[in-house]
Amino acid sequence: MAKMWSGRFSQEVSSLLDEFNASLPFDKKLYAQDIAGSIAHAKMLGKQGILDQKEVEAIIQGLQQIQREIEEGKFCWDIGDEDIHMAIEKRLTQLIGDAGKKLHTARSRNDQVALDFRLYVQEQTRELIALLKELIETILSIAKEHTQTIMPGMTHLQHAQPISFAYHLLAYGAMFKRDVERFVSSYERHNYSPLGCAALAGTPHPIDREETARELGFQGPTLNCLDSVSDRDFALELLFNIATMMMHISRLAEELIIWSTQEFGFITISDAYATGSSIMPQKKNPDVPELLRGKTGRAYGNLMALLTVMKGLPLAYNKDMQEDKEVVFDSVATGMISLKILIPLLKTMEVNRERMAQAVEQGHLSATDLADYLVERGVPFRQAHFITGKAVALAESLGKDLSQLSLEELRSVDERIGADVQERLNLFASMNARKTPGGTAQEAVADQIAALERWLQEV
Q: Which residues are catalytic?
A: 156, 277
Question: Under the criterion CB under 6 A, does residue 322 sit at the interface with ligand ARG?
Answer: yes
Only segment of 133-141, 251-259, 313-321, 329-337 that touches ligand ARG (CB under 6 A) = 313-321
Q: Which of 31, 183, 192, 317 binds ligand ARG (CB under 6 A)?
A: 317
- Taking the complex as a whole, the smallest distance from the CB of residue 21 to ligand ARG amounts, in Å, to 9
Question: Under the criterion CB under 6 A, does residue 113 sit at the interface with ligand ARG?
Answer: yes
Only segment of 303-311, 318-326, 388-396, 414-422 that touches ligand ARG (CB under 6 A) = 318-326
Q: Which of 33, 110, 212, 432 binds ligand ARG (CB under 6 A)?
A: 110
- Taking the complex as a whole, the smallest distance from the CB of residue 180 to ligand ARG amounts, in Å, to 30
- Please, which residue, 27 or 401, has the CB nearer to ligand ARG? 27
Site residue total, ligand ARG (CB under 6 A): 10
Nearest to 322 by CA among 93, 99, 26, 51: 26
- Please, which residue, 134 or 323, has the CB nearer to ligand ARG? 323
Only segment of 141-149, 278-286, 316-324, 328-336 that touches ligand ARG (CB under 6 A) = 316-324
- Please, which residue, 110 or 331, has the CB nearer to ligand ARG? 110
Only segment of 163-171, 281-289, 319-327, 366-374 that touches ligand ARG (CB under 6 A) = 319-327
- Taking the complex as a whole, the smallest distance from the CB of residue 89 to ligand ARG amounts, in Å, to 12
Q: Which of 43, 91, 109, 295 binds ligand ARG (CB under 6 A)?
A: 109
Span 25-54, contacts to ligand ARG by CB under 6 A: 27
Question: Under the criterion CB under 6 A, does residue 215 sit at the interface with ligand ARG?
Answer: no
Per-residue x/- track, 141-180, ligand ARG (CB under 6 A): ----------------------------------------
Residues that bind ligand ARG (CB under 6 A): 23, 27, 83, 109-110, 113, 317, 319, 321-322
